[in-house]
Amino acid sequence: MQRHFVTFYSPGTIVAETTTKEIDSWNVDDAVAMARVIQERHGARPYGFRFSTRARSETDLDSKEVDRSPMYYLGGTVRTVAEVLAGTDPSESTLRSNVRINDMKRVVTCHTPWRWTRELNDDDIVLDPAWRDEGSGRRA
């Protein structure tokens, strides 16, 4: 037996708030539609989501994650390490340190409505920011 899930990530106080829902398949447009109604504490809305598939055999007591998608970001601004390090905004001094220390290549900053910046991995996908208005999960 296997089932598919989508986990939505929203800005939290220290770490991301998450909400996981079952979904029929790894359909981006369906997940984008679901993201519209997700709201976490303090009005935080999802900045992204990730699909997963869990499975178990008849002899297993619990399911195990057997597959996971890359992260899908619901819009956002992508910046290279050079752009981040060239910045002078005092509120991004910790970001500049983290980029240097963790040898990041790129970051993505989302506003949902809280500002949230994360490392952008090579396989991550940034969707067209029009998803909020049009319902489309087209890639940017």
Distance CA 71, CA 51 (A): 8
Distance CA 108, CA 2 (A): 32
> H/E element holding 95?
helix 93-101
Confidence of residue 122 (pLDDT cuts 50, 70, 90): very high
* Predicted confidence (pLDDT) per residue in 43-55, tens digit: 889 999 999 999 9
β-pair type (125-126, 72-73):
parallel
The residue ranges of DSSP E strands in the chain, in sequence order, are 2-10, 17-23, 48-55, 64-68, 72-73, 77-80, 106-111, 115-119, 125-126
The pLDDT value recorded for residue 19 is 97
* Predicted confidence (pLDDT) per residue in 7-18, tens digit: 999 998 889 999
Contact (Cβ atoms closer than 8 angstroms) between residue 81 and residue 99:
yes
Query: pTM for this structure?
Result: 0.86
Confidence of residue 114 (pLDDT cuts 50, 70, 90): confident
